[in-house]
Amino acid sequence: MANVIKKLDGDFIDVQLGVLVLQEEDSYIAYCPALDLSTYGDNISDVKDAFDDLVRSYLEDGTKMGTLEQDLRAHGWEMQINSGKANPPQKIDLNIPAGMLRQQFNEQFRIPVPAA
């Protein structure tokens, strides 16, 4: 799973995140270990849509409020100021009970950076 956040041309942030989809009884959970974000849905399609909405809100709100970089650092991300790129923590410990993992995928976003 790849995780990267990169600011392009000052107008957009490109994001690629690894996401795990777990099943617990009749619910599905989308979890992004690199951001420690999760959401749920009734099926895999619903949980993917809910995760997209969650990450877009997280990135847009963090960018608007100027807290995105601080929050990423708090989650162990390393910021490369010159390249405008953020790299996730090198190691993320997962403790997923056997049989719960249903799918994993990379999700890509392009978020506009608000004008200063």
Chunked in runs of 10, what are the mean pLDDT values of the chain (116 residues)? Answer: 60 79 92 91 94 89 86 82 69 70 76 61
Helix (H, G, I), strand (E, B) or coil at 19: strand
Give residue 18's pLDDT.
Answer: 85
Q: How far is CA 103 from the centre of its chain?
A: 16
Distance CA 95, CA 87 (A): 22
Please give the DSSP secondary-structure letter assigned to residue 113: P
Give residue 47's pLDDT.
Answer: 94
Give residue 116's pLDDT.
Answer: 52
Give the chain's count of helices (H) and strands (E). Answer: 2, 7
